[in-house]
Amino acid sequence: MSFPLARLGRDLADLITPVACAGCGRSDIALCDSCAAELFSPLRRVDADARYLAGLLPTWAACSYPRVRSIVLAYKNHTRRDIATTIRAAARSAGDQFMGAASAESHVAYHLADHLHRGGALVLVPAPSGRARRWRRRLVAAELADALAHGIAEAAAIRIGRPARIATADILRKPLAAEVSGHLAGLNSMDRAAARRHAVTVVAPLRPDDVVLLVDDVVTTGATLAASYRALKAARIRVAGAIALAATPASSNGLAGERSSKRKADYT
């Protein structure tokens, strides 16, 4: 009876390091159904809950970060690549949700569908990774952008009746000077946002008819996305909004009771 060597290797690895759910720790499974379901939650607007995005940039997220924190960290740190397929599927689902049906509170998907129908392109741009993460090829936001692009492309093709021009472009960088500060440790959230605002650069141009959706893994205060938005805007690149895998609730950001009443136009 033959026994595949790859399967034997996996079984031996499981004996040495038993598999447990990256979310709840349940044994003998990489990600249980209950924890996986959290990643496929309905897409929702979260910019009002992020201090530096409220009134600036329409932003969506698929799930609540406190509920998926251990899963996201395991994926980001590359300690659990066995959950990567599920993470990518969740991002793809979020992309499908975003483009598949117009939100009751936003016209962004509608305007993007019209833009695509007229032959324009939508470019998903990941938030910038630090040099250490880039050197180790742990480009989490870029991986999510690729998966989101697939989901958006599928939904857009149905919506406009033909293949749409959807692409990804890793064009944002953190200058070395921004990383000398030790990832801005020790600064309060306002100072951290101000530092990041001047610590993102655009390293390649896009075409004049391109419209961007920013992508990040987790939205907390929104400082990184806000800095990225401003860098793209300074480069005369249009940004329609942002999508993240997860976001922290308003109470975690100290925003409960002080949500901004200001709203920027849904399409810039």
Residue 3 resides in a domain: no
Residue 85 resides in a domain: yes
Q: Are 218 and 37 in contact (CB under 8 A)?
A: no
- Of the candidates 60, 51, 66, the one whose C-alpha atom is nearest the C-alpha of residue 255 is 51
Residue 208 pLDDT = 92
Helices assigned H by DSSP within 77-126 = 84-100, 108-117
Residue 29 resides in a domain: no
Dihedral sign of CA atoms 133, 135, 138, 142 in order: positive
Residue 263 resides in a domain: no
What is the number of structural domains in the chain?
Answer: 1
> Chunked in runs of 10, what are the mean pLDDT values of the chain (268 residues)?
53 64 94 97 95 94 96 87 94 93 66 95 93 69 97 94 97 72 60 64 94 97 94 96 94 49 44
Q: Work out the number of other CB atoms within 10 angstroms of the CB of residue 86.
A: 18
| Alpha-carbon distance values, 133 to 147, 193, 256 (Å) | 19, 20, 33
Stated pTM of the model? 0.81
Residue numbers of the domain that contains 61: 39-253
Residue 25 resides in a domain: no
Residue 257 pLDDT = 41
Residue 77 pLDDT = 84
Residue 259 resides in a domain: no
Residue 21 resides in a domain: no
